[in-house]
Amino acid sequence: MQIIDLITPERVACCQESASKERTLEQISQLLAQSMPQITTNEVFDSLVDREHLGSTGLGRGVAIPHGRINGLHEPAGAFMCLKIGVDFDALDRKPVDLLFALLVPQEAADAHLQLLAQLARMFSDGSFTQRLRATRNNQELYELLRLWEPDRANA
């Protein structure tokens, strides 16, 4: 499964405003749940927050990959959000986070979960790619950038 298989144009949000880590997790939970009638915003939020209690998903360099497992979910799903101003996310480098990719996986999908997290980490370790994401000013452009990202090209 590729990153683009996880998102839809409706689950991409550019230039969002948020005041805190908790509020940001609420917003990205809403983004995920709005197009998946089998789960609620509260289920998504609780899953993401439970994972954050184990340790921050803030990778550093302004990037976080909040993720969680959901009972009843049949396939992985994701949402991407770019914030106007970064928020404190308890990231490893203590820098504010402004790029977030939330990942949900079915409860029993351990291997797929780890593979997708590895792909996301590779995606967001590409400094020129993250610069382009930050420079984008609308949802459609942001979705297109994510859609066109290719793992092999990023490591070339």
Catalytic residue, candidates 53, 67, 74, 113:
67
User: 67 catalytic, yes or no?
Assistant: yes
Q: ∠113-5-33 over CA atoms, to 5°?
A: 75
Give dist(CA 62, CA 86) in Å, integer. Answer: 7
135 Cα distance to chain centroid:
17
Residues 6+ apart with CB under 8 A from 47: 68, 69, 70, 104
3-state secondary structure of 88: coil
Query: Which residue, among 70, 63, 50, 81, has the nearest Cα to 113 in the 3D structure?
Result: 70
21 Cα distance to chain centroid:
13
Give dist(CA 103, CA 99) in Å, integer. Answer: 13
Q: Active-site positions?
A: 67
